[in-house]
A and B are shown apart, each in its own frame.
Chain A
């Protein structure tokens, strides 16, 4: 296996490869024949920056908009509003050949490796497809690159001519990661990449992701609901609730001293594999409110144990604190 000196040399950890400013995504949803369509604000104004070799974890429950954010960053869905720059190039409003060229720098790995691989194509064909679509590399070179990438994700050359059904979940996720890497992207959006895997295999894939990040100087956007995985792999953590960011901080700071009541509840609700640990669990009552009718004021106020009158009336802004921490809570200001 040869290392990637080129990718490593290009890497410059200071300039961000991904910059988003106030991204918004709204969906129009039909609510029956006679009712006017409703607007779902899936993502309500999110800003972030990401440098090479860094991992930004996006955490939240289902319905928090974390996957929608991931899909916008991966250029799968255009944002309704806001600005998105990849590698310094503004991608909002870009279309056609330029968009296609930009897409090569961002790739995505999906949650379910049973659904994300074409069952009728061999692994080699799956890996070569991004090259056929996006480059004019010849067949021999394509084949060589596919086999090389297969080796880098820990699979053997004889696997190349097999079909997805012949692989286990962990192996399939390796293949999905290999496919994402074929175009040598700078950013990979990983949408719950290890949620469908067993514990023993999950550790293997997390290790692989850590190795590949160093080797290819990748920036990861790691969308997950599993805080124990996030704590292991992330550099920065962004906590989302109902389409908005409630807290963002470097990993160590967030886990040591969560400022937002929702982050605290999320941390305390995560089961820890230590029976002796003292439990002071904050059990949230209720569930995520409907995105059709978000509550007035802070989106979290109906479930918040600390909510005061102001929370029900005024929406808290994202407050910039020390060490790159940001919190959207009246009480944390």
Chain B
């Protein structure tokens, strides 16, 4: 059974002008046990919002709807906040981008790790302390006993992120959602943290959803990748396949724009920028920046292609770099 099932998840935000802004538009995702799935996208692609919706951490102005949102077969939509809290933090945990600001500056590390242990597992004081030491040791913090009494300001960025991970895995979750866990860290520390996350997956049988904008991190860590653009899921594929033969023009352009893939001094940049709240179009949202867009793309919203084409949301998905008319294309004039 799939661990997490999301079908057609949409998140709308009420805006100050009274309208609705769709931040996440029809995202579907299943995560199997022990799997590492990565969600990539630029800012505004809705990658974090989609996962915050799963966690139930969105503000009141957000309206979440989904055909199905289930964890281990149990529905997460429309359950009471108390019922959700029994799952969130225990079986699903999340870590965030800014470790420094995600920890409460007023409490010691030991207390903050202990909170989840007493809430979800009802552990007593001595058991909490023993477990906290064990966790800090597991995430690679030297002399964990003495670190229990440390306050967050006494820790470096890498240490704070390790503490965050220790808190998240305190109740041995089945799914860990990591939202840009290494973006604020230096590369040598980033390598340590990614290594730690993969090791925890191996040892603790934990699935990992890794939200990132860094294609390098994706290539080295993930098994499967979901690419998001402007709230929509544009492609989904196995990591190796995605890097070998990207099917959506956005994925292809994103990979080509990476400096490490460049062959010339001039990078093949994607012109323009991500559409904002007011410039949503009828057709494909990527059409204005796409170099293979046709008239059809700006008028008609594309449907999803088959799994062999990376479920690309495109009228003419790329095959070996060439736009190809889909076999399942309906009678729409090209």
- Our pick among B157, B190, B255 for the contact of A269 (Cβ within 8 Å) is B190
Q: Does A265 contact B (CB under 8 A)?
A: yes
Check A270–B216 contact: CB distance below 8 A. Answer: yes
**Does A31 have its Cβ within 8 Å of any Cβ on chain B?**
no
CB distance from B5 to the nearest CB of A (A): 26
Give the contacts of B289-313 with A (CB-CB under 8 A): 289
Given contacts A271-B216, A272-B216, contact A287 B260 (CB under 8 A): no
Q: Is the CB of A283 within 8 A of B42?
A: no
Which residue of A has the minimal Cβ distance to B267?
Answer: A203
CB-CB < 8 A to A202: which residues of B?
257, 259
Question: Is A168 an interface position by the 8 A CB rule?
Answer: yes
CB pair A200–B259 under 8 Å, yes or no, is no
- Nearest residue in B to A265 (C-beta to C-beta)? B188
Interface residues of B in 231-266 (CB under 8 A from A): 239-240, 243, 253-255, 257-262, 265-266
Which of B60-68, B76-84, B269-277 has 4 or more CB atoms under 8 Å from chain A? B269-277
Of B19-27, B110-118, B201-209, B217-225, the one contacting chain A is B217-225
B87 interfacial contact with A, CB 8 Å? no
Q: Does A325 contact B (CB under 8 A)?
A: no
Whether A207 touches B273, Cβ cut-off 8 Å, given contacts A198-B43, A273-B261, A275-B240, is no
The count of chain A contact residues (Cβ–Cβ below 8 Å) is: 41
Give how many B residues have a beta carbon under 8 Å from the other chain's beta carbons. 46
Structural contact, A283 and B273, CB atoms closer than 8 A: no
| Cβ–Cβ contact A272 & B260, under 8 A | yes
B192: Cβ under 8 A from any A Cβ: yes
* Contact B188 A269, beta carbon cutoff 8 Å: yes
A198, B186: Cα distance in complex, Å: 18
A61 adjacent to B187 (CB under 8 Å): yes
Among A20-28, A67-75, A100-108, A228-236, the one that faces the other chain is A228-236
With A225-B187, A270-B187, A271-B219: A206-B214 Cβ-Cβ less than 8 Å: no
- Per the bound structure, the CA–CA distance linking A180 and B171 in Å amounts to 52
A203 and B158 in contact (CB under 8 A), knowing A61-B187, A62-B186, A210-B265? no
Is A231 a contact of B259 with CB atoms below 8 Å? yes
- A residues 270-324 near B (Cβ < 8 Å) are 270-277, 279, 281, 283-285, 287
Task: Give the number of residue pairs across the A-B interface with Cβ within 8 Å.
Answer: 124
Question: Do A287 and B215 have beta carbons less than 8 Å apart?
Answer: no
> In the complex, are the beta carbons of B214 and A271 less than 8 A apart?
yes
B42 touches A287 (CB 8 A): no
B195 contacts A by Cβ under 8 Å: yes
| Interchain CB contact under 8 A, A228 and B260 | yes
Given contacts A229-B259, A275-B220, contact A198 B42 (CB under 8 A): yes
Determine if B254 and A274 form an interchain contact, defined as CB atoms under 8 angstroms apart: no
Determine whether A204 belongs to the interface, using a CB cutoff of 8 Å to chain B. Answer: yes
Contacts of B186 in A (CB 8 A): 61-62, 225
B220→A232 contact, CB < 8 A: no
Chain B residues contacting A170 (CB-CB under 8 Å) are 273
Contacts of A281 in B (CB 8 A): 191, 195
| In the complex, B213 has a CB within 8 A of chain A | yes
CB pair A231–B188 under 8 Å, yes or no, is no
Answer whether residue B189 sits at the interface, using C-beta atoms and an 8 A cutoff: yes
| Cβ-closest 3 pairs across A and B | A271-B216, A232-B259, A203-B269
Extra contacts besides A171-B273, A198-B274, A200-B274 (4): CB < 8 Å: A199-B42, A231-B259, A273-B260, A284-B192
**Contacts A/B (CB < 8 Å), 26 sampled:** A61-B188, A168-B273, A198-B274, A199-B258, A200-B254, A200-B257, A200-B270, A203-B268, A207-B266, A225-B186, A228-B260, A232-B259, A233-B259, A266-B188, A271-B194, A271-B214, A271-B221, A273-B218, A273-B260, A275-B219, A275-B243, A281-B195, A283-B191, A283-B192, A283-B195, A285-B192
